[in-house]
Amino acid sequence: MSRAAVMPFVLAVAALLALAGCPKLETLDQGSCPKGSTLTWKSFGEDFFASYCNRCHGADLGQRDGAPTTFVFESRDEVYVHRERIYATSAADNDSMPPGPDDPPLAEREKLAEWLACGAP
């Protein structure tokens, strides 16, 4: 067999092996809203996004460190539009965002998961 014929097989096996070690991300529809949750935009969301997200997502063009201009999190309505993606990348054990050394601790990510699962009031 030629090298060109074997390469797609090698790449497929490598991809499967890489995925085998990746945790499955929890999605918003898998999250749960605990009865009696008191988290709101004012009591939680606003500070969370100001502290962990808006240094990039709220920055001017050229200072966003790669954050797409369509993802702005300065208001509850802007967050609500992207709530499913935010949950999948930043809530509970999902920790691909934000990238960098100042990531939110797990307790804060769990609050984010709760707030989003409760409809981001």
Report pLDDT digits (tens) over 49-107. 999 999 999 888 898 888 998 899 999 999 999 999 999 999 999 889 998 778 899 99
Confidence (pLDDT) at 38: 97
> Token digits for 58?
């709220």
Helix axes 83-90, 106-117, angle to 10 degrees: 150
Q: Tell me 103's DSSP state.
A: P
Give the CA distances from residue 51 to residues 17, 20, 46, in Å, rounded to whole numbers and listed in that order: 36, 33, 9
Q: Which of 80, 24, 12 is nearest to 49 (CA)?
A: 80
Q: What is the pLDDT of residue 25?
A: 52
Q: Which of 11-15, 58-62, 114-118 comes out lowest in average pLDDT?
A: 11-15
Q: What is the pLDDT of residue 4?
A: 53
Q: What is the largest CA-CA distance in the chain?
A: 64
Least confident of 18-22, 46-50, 53-57: 18-22
- Average pLDDT of the chain is 82
pTM given for the model:
0.76
93, 23 contact by CB (below 8 A): yes
Residues 24, 104, 86, 28, Cα dihedral to 10°: 50
- In the chain, the amino acid numbered 14 is A
